[in-house]
A and B are shown apart, each in its own frame.
Chain A
Amino acid sequence: MPPRLDTLAKGHELPPSAFELTPEWVSEYVAAVEDEAIGPLGADLVPPMAVAALAVRALLERAALPAGAVHIGQEIEFRRAVRAGEKLTASARILSRGERQGWLLMGIELRVDGEGGPVMEGRATLTMPVTEGSP
């Protein structure tokens, strides 16, 4: 059972998650988001937001979202194009956390690396009610 996100302290690093962008998964993602723009650029190119989605998936595998958590902001930079079949590693770190009027605000750094360096970097901002168990 992963720790609850709202119990993690600033600076906490979540263990990295490795994954492969299989052609089957890429097709499933492209169908789910109805991305008709990526195909004409190259048959094996992956929509950049697919990499971001995997970074979020990796985060959710390593930290459980408390009930009522809401995604309120996102920053992303795509460092290079990614192709189906690539093996990537996603990591996350708690950049900031603060409390205001019963709500916890957390900034989470997301990073995805491939061969030769980063392919995506970003920051997600989430808010959630302060509950028992929050430090």
Chain B
Amino acid sequence: MTPGVGTELAPVVVAVTQEKIDRYAAAGGDGNPLHTDPEFAARTQFGGTIAHGMLLLAYLSRMLTAAFGGAWLSGGRLKVRFRAPARPGDTVSAVGQVVRAEGGRTVCAVECRNQAGETLVSGEAEVPA
């Protein structure tokens, strides 16, 4: 059954570590030193390594898969902005809420937040109803 407007999706909460970032870099083939090389990353505007944005989206996708099943896999849409980085040691929560139904689709506001409540990623996901 499709969650109705106002429904909060079951969040996904993940402790981000450098090991997890390295594992994603290997699997995703994105070895940008900003993610994997602490010495390099320390010299950037971030001051240290940060998680891949696509890793955070994978947490959102996990939440949406759990909430909507196959409808997310076949017809799901995601549109987000990356607002702040996730760093090793952060606890990231992927959260979402159904905000409207339109054109045969269920629209959710989605976010990733860190343990301080700072928004790291925000946007909307759509799933065929």
CB contacts (< 8 Å) of B72 on chain A: these are 48, 78
Let me know if A37 and B66 touch, CB within 8 A: yes
B42 within 8 A of A: no
Let me know if B78 and A74 touch, CB within 8 A: yes
CA distance A62 to B81 in the complex (A): 24
Q: Give the interface SS of chain A, mostly helix, strand, loop or mixed.
A: mixed
Let me know if A31 and B23 touch, CB within 8 A: yes
* Chain B 9-34 interface residues, beta-carbon cutoff 8 Å to A: 14, 20, 23-24, 26-30, 32
Which listed residue (A36, A41, A54) contacts B73, Cβ 8 A? A41
Q: Give the interface SS of chain B, mostly helix, strand, loop or mixed.
A: helix
Bitwise, B70-101 to A at CB < 8 A (1) or not (0) is 10111111111110000000000000000000
A87 within 8 A of B: no
Chain B residue nearest to A28 in the complex (CB): B27
B129 within 8 A of A: no
Let me know if B73 and A53 touch, CB within 8 A: no
A sample of 11 cross-chain residue pairs with beta-carbon separation below 8 angstroms, ordered by A number, consists of: A32-B23, A35-B61, A37-B62, A48-B72, A71-B53, A73-B80, A74-B57, A74-B78, A75-B77, A78-B74, A81-B70
